A and B are shown apart, each in its own frame.
Chain A
Amino acid sequence: MRMVDTEYSAPRELLRTQTLALIVGIVGLVLLLLGAFLPEELLGGTEQFWRSYLMGWTYWTGVALGSLGVLMIQHLSGGVWGATLRRFLEAAALTIPVMGVLFVPLALLGLPYVYEWTDPAFMRESEILSQKTGYLNTPFFLIRMLAYFVIWSVLAVLLHRWSSRLDRTGDYDYASRQARLSGPGMVLYAITMTLFTVDVLLSLDAEFFSTMWGPLVTLSMILAAFALMIVILSFLTVRGPLSQVVSGEHFLDVGKLLLAFTIVWTYLSFSQFLIIYSGNLPTEAQWYVTRLQGGWEWVGLALLVFQFILPFLLLLSRGLKRDPRMLVRVALLAFLMQYVNIIWLTVPNWHRDGFYLSWMDLVAPIAFGGIFLMLFTAILRARPLLPLHVVPRRHPRARTYTEAQHAGQ
């Protein structure tokens, strides 16, 4: 084996992380299951269980799906930042099939507790809803979900496999195959993600509709994925093998992209709000009316401040973006705020009278996070942390993290 292979191999601590993540995942799931049998006074119950399940699952599936999107964008656009993130993105995208399997329990047992449209009597109540039954019915929903996950899994598996082969053979034909697949793949991704986000999150309020929804929620997932990848990159740079390669310029690049994603998220969120505000039609406006009173307005304000204003102002600074120890904090904030975003999108649909949050809503993302990170580290550990035949790995004319530390910067 060449020197370069061992140089970038995953550090041993990742095995500890993997075990820890597995334990957290199992403990979290057990807690959730216990919660399902608790009475409603203790904020438990079957209904609460499936709702929290959906929230936790959506959050982490979003990370996997967002990674697939960024990975394909990277194959199409190139860029020095991509080589350092590629392995993380590939590993995260490869969890998609398993995340799909984790949806099966909800699909078989939980749908009536989560989606109001599963009840035919409810759908017959109003003219608008009865027009929607052709699309919003359980069998078609399940068929669509299956189709999405098959498409994404094929994309993720192929991109991952070709990347491994490129490592082994050094045959650049695999690199161009990745780029050729990513073009049509991106088109498929845009279509399936639009439908998926509408099915899973928008249909929680069967009356509501928004053409901005698909791009908005897809971008939220990409933002969450990108923020998490920055956290992992900086973790493996500050105390890991990537310090030999990654430089402040890399962090400047990914920091700029995080700023861009933050701005686009805000732009889409505001566009949706402004269009509905201007239109002022009951079926649409109700969605915001629910969310701007009874305590929910504070969740919205928290999103505005901590998902836009604060990260936006911080990420303008060049010095902050270049310093992984600082950038990681902003990325972590953006990542956690995306769960607040999930709460904002989901819970008010079930609790329209005012703010409500169960402890299970906070355990679910931890449980699914454990499972996701266990899978992620297991996939990541199997290969070197950097693609071996992608150039340039190093930023031209930039000091790597190690060199900068020695120079006392």
Chain B
Amino acid sequence: MTLKLETPIYGLLAEFDGEHELMHAAEQVRDAGYRKIDAYTPVPVHGLSEALGLPRSRVPLIVLCGGLIGGTTGLLLQYWTMAKAYPLNVAGRPLAAWPSFIPPAFEMTILFASFGAVFGWILLNSLPQPYHPVFNVKRFERATTDGWFLSIEASDPKFEYGETRQFLASLGAKEVSDVEH
């Protein structure tokens, strides 16, 4: 029997009994050298990203850029409107009264940083995504109630169908399913 299948699959999906089993399995899979792995859980699990060995999120960088753009825009907008476009003497203060500029500039910083956070997060997660191969596994519906899943993609260089399948089973998976495209 050959290990290569006629129709290449997306990967393998293993189901575990609970949080601790999943964490343990994720660490083992990571240490075994797999990179294209992901986990699906009904509740957020603290430390799972580290267990999966996921790279650091790029969202903070986008947030920082958004904040800087927002703050600068806020300051420049006020400077231009208050001191250049329509100079208005407010109780004898300087036209560029920077203390008064700070609160709106701060709000703009927060606004654009939030935009960066929300839209950056959506884009980096390639959302909206109406279809994903793991949906082909019937049991995967339970990922929203009581299922704890770990997937390894077939495109991972270390992926070797029989070996990987056995490895997942040896980690205590309840069931290992093939994921079709």
- Provide the bound-state CA to CA distance between A396 and B23, in Å: 14
Q: A293 to nearest B CB, angstroms?
A: 16
- Chain B positions 8-61 with a Cβ under 8 Å from a chain A Cβ: 46-47
The chain B residue with its CB closest to the CB of A271 is: B103
Q: Please determine whether A270 and B102 come into contact, CB atoms closer than 8 angstroms.
A: yes
Chain B stretch 84-98: residues in CB contact (< 8 A) with chain A: 91, 93, 97
Hey, what's the 0/1 contact readout for A371-404 against B, CB within 8 Å counting as 1? 0000000000000000000000000110000000
Query: With an 8 A cutoff between CB atoms, is A357 at the interface?
Result: no
Among residues of B, the one whose C-beta sits closest to the C-beta of A398 is B47
Q: Which residue of B lies closest to A267 (CB)?
A: B106
- CB neighbours of B47 from chain A (8 A): 397
Q: How far is the CA of A155 from the CA of B103 in the complex (A)?
A: 38
Q: Once bound together, how far apart are the Cα atoms of A132 and B107, in whole Å?
A: 39
Q: Which residues of B contact A396 (CB under 8 A)?
A: 46
Contact pick for A280, options B46, B91, B102, B103, CB 8 Å = B91
Q: For the complex, what is the distance from the CA of A397 to the CA of B27, rounded to whole Å?
A: 13
Q: Does B162 contact A (CB under 8 A)?
A: no
8 A Cβ contacts from A266-312 to B: 270, 273-274, 277-278, 280
Contact in complex: A273, B91 (CB < 8 Å): no
Across-interface contacts of B103 in A (CB, < 8 A): 274
**Centre residue among B46, B47, B99 by max chain A CB count within 10 A:** B99
8 A Cβ contacts from A225-280 to B: 270, 273-274, 277-278, 280
- Number of A-B residue pairs, CB cutoff 8 Å, is 17
B46 near A274 (CB under 8 angstroms)?
A: no
CB distance from B45 to the nearest CB of A (A): 10
A358 CB to closest chain B CB (Å) equals 32
Check A277–B100 contact: CB distance below 8 A: yes
User: Are A278 and B100 interface neighbours, CB within 8 A?
Assistant: yes
User: Chain A interface secondary structure, helix, strand, loop or mixed?
Assistant: helix
A273 and B46 within 8 A (CB): no
CB distance from A119 to the nearest CB of B (A): 35
Say yes or no: A274-B91 contact (C-beta < 8 A), given A397-B46, A397-B47: no
Measured between C-beta atoms, what is the minimum distance from A288 to chain B in Å? Answer: 10
Q: Could you mark each residue 95-133 of chain B with 1 if its beta carbon is under 8 Å from any beta carbon of chain A, else 0?
A: 001011011000000000000000000000000000000
CB distance from B62 to the nearest CB of A (A): 15
Give the Cβ gap from B60 to chain A, nearest Cβ, in Å: 9
> Whose C-beta in chain B lies nearest to the C-beta of A275?
B99
CB distance from B144 to the nearest CB of A (A): 24
Chain B residues near A277 (CB-CB < 8 A): 97, 99-100
Report the separation of the CA atoms of residues A280 and B93 in the bound assembly, to the nearest whole angstrom: 9
| Residues in A whose Cβ lies below 8 Å from that of B46 | 396-397
A274 to B97, CA, bound (A): 11
**Cα distance A397–B100 when bound, in Å?**
46
The docked-state distance in angstroms from the alpha carbon of A44 to that of B46 is 59
A278 neighbours in B (Cβ, 8 Å) = 99-100
A280 CB contacts on chain B under 8 angstroms: 91, 93
B107 to chain A, nearest CB (A): 13
Give the distance in Å from the alpha carbon of A274 to the alpha carbon of B47 in the complex: 43
- CB-CB under 8 A from A274, the residues of chain B are 99-100, 102-103
- State A169–B109 Cα separation when bound (angstroms): 52
Once the chains are docked, how many angstroms separate the CA of A353 from the CA of B181? 79
Q: Considering the chains assembled together, what is the distance between the CA atoms of A277 and B103 in angstroms?
A: 13
Residues of A within 8 A of B (CB): 270, 273-274, 277-278, 280, 396-397
Nearest 6 A/B pairs, CB to CB: A277-B99, A274-B99, A397-B47, A280-B91, A273-B99, A278-B100
- 15 A-B residue pairs with Cβ-Cβ distance under 8 Å, sorted by A, are A270-B99, A270-B102, A273-B99, A274-B99, A274-B100, A274-B102, A277-B97, A277-B99, A277-B100, A278-B99, A280-B91, A280-B93, A396-B46, A397-B46, A397-B47
Given contacts A277-B100, A280-B93, 15 further A-B contacts (CB under 8 A): A270-B99, A270-B102, A273-B99, A274-B99, A274-B100, A274-B102, A274-B103, A277-B97, A277-B99, A278-B99, A278-B100, A280-B91, A396-B46, A397-B46, A397-B47
